[in-house]
Amino acid sequence: MVGHTDADFVSVVIPVNNPSVDVGRLVQGYSEPLRSAGYPFELIFVLDGVHGRIVEDLAELSSEHPVKTVRLQGDGLGESIALSAGVARARGAFILNVPQYLQVEPDDLVKIVQALESGADFVATWRHPRVDPWLNRVQSTVFNWVLRAVMGIRFHDLNSGVRGMRRQVLEEVSVYGEMFRFLPVLALRQGFNVVEVKVRHREEQGTLPFYGIGVYVRRVLDILAISFLTRFTQKPLRFFGILGIIAILIGIAVSLNPLYERVIQDVSIADRPIFVLGVILVAFGVQLIGFGLVGEIIIFTQASQMRDYRVDEVVQVEGPQPSDGAVADAVDAALGRAEPREDSPALRVRELLPGEDARWDAFVHGHEHGSFFHLSGWRRAVEETFHHEAHYLVCEQGRAWRGVLPVFHIRSPFLGKQMISVPYGVYGGVLAGDEDVQQALIDAACQQGRRLAAGYLELRHLAPRPGDRVRFDLYVTFRKELPATVDEVLPSIPKKARAEVRRARDRFSMTFEELDDVSVFFELFSEEKRRLGTPSLPQSWFENLREEFGKAVVLHVVRDADRRPMCAVMSFLYKDAVYAYYSGSSNEARGKGVADFVYCKIMEWAIERGFRVFDFGRSRRDTGAAKFKQNMGFEPEPLHYDFTLLRADAKLPEFHPSNPKLQGPRRMWSKLPKGVANRVGARLSRYLP
């Protein structure tokens, strides 16, 4: 028997809606085979409307077993929601979904995990031979035969409640209602590797031998829905169009003769109901073509963002669960091994796969140097707005992620071809656990850059990284811990800036509030950019950021006594920090202390909401912006921007505002009409990342 590591961690999700379930028997039954095989595991009981004794029993069991309890608010939310809630709180790379009774021999759970280890993404089970009553077998056989006939699938037992899958499957495949039964079909449709494993069936005590007519009606509707979702979501008109056209042709055929008699022979159609039927069929056909099952399509495509539940309580006792780093060693010790385990698998760098965004973001959140700009949402916003080619690299060892590197290929007439981590962000670069992982990721990015004929690789690190690369020290950043209370913010600001805050508040009656309208912010942002002689980012960029990150992107505005917007700031919220990132002000705001006022108020706003760090963003050394931030009480910290030249003729970028050669073009840009500057700037900003 071989030992297993955390990469093989198994989370067993057990939805429970029956208050009479013997959870002790389930814990023993599902634990023993996994423990004997040496797999680290956890049991997650998702209680759907179940309270009382079961909660107490699970709390007692959690002191001796790796048991976690998730309680949902509401009753009868269904297995799809319970499964989603359980997986959201699972830590395993492998997920086993099992019923609230021992449907199959527990020892066969190991076969499912082994299939996942060998490369399967999803494991469907086939209870064979069946040992339940003959009527149950007949019903199940008919159900599965109809599915195979209608959809051409090869699965024998979609009614089996035992399934195994990698976490990525549920991150990409949307399930809702009773669609959990069809997870193998949906996973296969998404391109996952789906296999079927035979398991030994146990007699299912307490299940109904015959279901009511309503169940059969729902099953028929489910078959129709899954047939549509798996075959026609990409080409819906091939289904609804045919039905609609047939209805229209029949309607025209039955109404043509009465219409001819009315127009040509002047015969009344008042007593010709066949004409009315024809008109109805034509209208129905048009509706089929135009609408059809739009609701089903919307639910299916949006199910990954829908959460029809709230978790009331999560109970977990960590006592018996070994720590992350000690799982494999504990297994070895239990098996009597004195010798060290085999060498770890080699490092491998690959690109991020579809469906892995949640895992990427979890890695970013867990790394000490992870930033808002490392998140996968930044990639989607950049691609949507500027259409740059992204290469998100993952370094893994076995199935464990050791590091990530987000990088974009930029084609610019001003900067040439380049690889940047990350564009339009002040922080980026490698997130890795050690230097070997970092170098593997950088080497892969350089190789990708050479293949794309890029001149250099730019890594925008906040903190220094080991390695011999060309450094670029043009920029500094400003970050500091926020005071403990709101009342301490103003006194913490230096005297001169403090006076400006009071002047804006008392003399000019400036007010501070949150803002919902991106267009108000963009007007101020683009106006300031034009004054500075710099092309403005397009309004669609800010709209895409708001759409992608939701409440993690916040707008604030300062208004004067007449309610005119004087200044606006777009901030990003990440973990315990507020990034005051984009800002703009009107020409009328100059000399009124508005800038000092707005940042003072944002710091107060942040403290009220529990944030501890204020990030003032980067500035070029010794510029007016840098001096303003220092006057607000912030100290500059060097940014560690690293460059690797990928061609013999490559050189560091010189297209930045500090270049004296650009002073003339900047002055000319500041004289452009506002509409022209915004229109042209939106196009140019694509090439100035």
Decide: residue 273, CB within 10 A, 0-12 exposed, 13-18 middle, 19+ buried. exposed
Higher-pLDDT residue of 80 and 490 is: 490
Q: Looking at the predicted structure, is the pLDDT value of residue 483 above 90?
A: yes
Mean pLDDT (whole number) for 495-522: 95
Candidate from 154-168, 291-305, 531-545 with smallest mean pLDDT: 291-305
Confidence of residue 308 (pLDDT cuts 50, 70, 90): very low
Q: What is the predicted pLDDT for the residue at 374?
A: 96
Mean pLDDT (whole number) for 619-641: 93
Q: Looking at the predicted structure, is the pLDDT value of residue 659 above 90?
A: no
- Give tens-digit pLDDT for 28-37: 999 999 998 8
- Give tens-digit pLDDT for 43-76: 999 998 887 788 889 989 988 899 999 988 777 7
The answer to whether 446 and 646 are in contact (CB under 8 A) is: yes
- Nearest CA to 422 out of 370, 471, 373, 361 is that of 373
Mean pLDDT (whole number) for 12-25: 90
Collect all residues with Cβ–Cβ distance below 8 Å to 390 and sequence separation of at least 6.
379, 382, 383, 406, 407, 408, 409
In this structure, the chain runs to a length of: 689
- Taking each helix axis from N to C end, the angle separating 539-549 and 518-532, rounded to the nearest 10 degrees, works out to 140
Q: Looking at the predicted structure, is the pLDDT value of residue 312 above 90?
A: no
Sign of CA dihedral 175, 177, 181, 186: negative
3-class SS shares of the chain: helix, strand, coil, % to 5: 45, 20, 35
Q: What is the predicted pLDDT for the residue at 408?
A: 96
Which stretch of DSSP H or E encloses residue 97? strand 94-97
Q: Looking at the predicted structure, is the pLDDT value of residue 303 above 60?
A: no
Helix/strand/coil for 204: coil
Percent of the chain with pLDDT over 70: 80
Q: Looking at the predicted structure, is the pLDDT value of residue 420 above 90?
A: yes
Instruction: Report residue 190 as tokens.
Output: 């998404």
Instruction: Report residue 490 as tokens.
Output: 């103003």
Decide: residue 662, CB within 10 A, 0-12 exposed, 13-18 middle, 19+ buried. middle
Which range, 147-151, 349-353, 482-486, 653-657, has the best average confidence (pLDDT)?
482-486
Mean pLDDT (whole number) for 496-521: 95
Confidence of residue 359 (pLDDT cuts 50, 70, 90): confident
Whole-angstrom distance, CA of residue 632 vs CA of residue 596: 7
Q: Looking at the predicted structure, is the pLDDT value of residue 211 above 90?
A: no
Q: How is 260-324 classified by DSSP, letter by letter?
A: HHHHTS----TT-HHHHHHHHHHHHHHHHHHTTTHHHHHHHHHGGG-----EEEEEE--SSSPPG
Q: What is the predicted pLDDT for the residue at 224?
A: 61
Q: What is the predicted pLDDT for the residue at 328?
A: 40
Helix/strand/coil for 501: helix
Which range, 131-145, 154-168, 317-331, has the best average confidence (pLDDT)?
154-168
The answer to whether 599 and 563 are in contact (CB under 8 A) is: no
Q: What is the predicted pLDDT for the residue at 319?
A: 42
Mean pLDDT (whole number) for 642-653: 87
Collect all residues with Cβ–Cβ distance below 8 Å to 556 and sequence separation of at least 6.
512, 513, 514, 515, 568, 569, 571, 598, 601, 602, 605
Q: What is the predicted pLDDT for the residue at 368?
A: 93
Q: What is the predicted pLDDT for the residue at 205?
A: 56
Instruction: Report residue 578 as tokens.
Output: 């507020």
Q: What is the predicted pLDDT for the residue at 399?
A: 78
Q: Looking at the predicted structure, is the pLDDT value of residue 574 above 60?
A: yes
Mean pLDDT of the chain: 82
| Domain 8-230: which CATH number of 3.90.550.10, 3.40.50.300, 3.30.1360.120, 3.50.50.60 | 3.90.550.10
Candidate from 16-25, 114-123, 181-190, 481-490 with smallest mean pLDDT: 181-190
Confidence of residue 178 (pLDDT cuts 50, 70, 90): low
Higher-pLDDT residue of 176 and 333 is: 176
Q: What is the predicted pLDDT for the residue at 233?
A: 54
- Name the CATH architecture for the domain at 349-473: 3-Layer(aba) Sandwich (3.40)
Confidence of residue 251 (pLDDT cuts 50, 70, 90): confident
| Beta-strand runs (E) in 340-489 | 347-351, 389-397, 400-412, 416-421, 431-432, 456-461, 470-472, 475-481
Whole-angstrom distance, CA of residue 367 vs CA of residue 370: 5
Higher-pLDDT residue of 269 and 205 is: 269
Q: What is the predicted pLDDT for the residue at 353?
A: 72
Candidate from 4-8, 177-181, 513-517 with smallest mean pLDDT: 4-8
Q: Looking at the predicted structure, is the pLDDT value of residue 290 above 80?
A: no
The answer to whether 464 and 629 are in contact (CB under 8 A) is: no
Paired strand residues for 395 = 349, 403
Q: What is the predicted pLDDT for the residue at 503?
A: 95
pTM: 0.55
Whole-angstrom distance, CA of residue 508 vs CA of residue 526: 24
Paired strand residues for 401 = 396
Please name the residue that has the structure tokens 């607000």: 632
Q: Looking at the predicted structure, is the pLDDT value of residue 354 above 70?
A: no
Helix/strand/coil for 178: coil
Q: How many helices (H) and strands (E) does the chain have?
A: 23, 23
Percent of the chain with pLDDT over 90: 43
Collect all residues with Cβ–Cβ distance below 8 Å to 301 and sequence separation of at least 6.
174, 233
Q: Looking at the predicted structure, is the pLDDT value of residue 190 above 60?
A: yes
Higher-pLDDT residue of 151 and 216 is: 151
Candidate from 199-213, 342-356, 386-400 with smallest mean pLDDT: 199-213
Q: What is the predicted pLDDT for the residue at 273?
A: 80
Q: Which residues of 569-580 are buried (b: 16+ CB within 10 A; e: fewer)?
A: bbbbbbeebbbb
Candidate from 172-181, 204-213, 427-436, 499-508 with smallest mean pLDDT: 204-213
CATH 3.40.50.300: does it fit domain 477-637+665-687? no
Q: What is the predicted pLDDT for the residue at 147?
A: 63
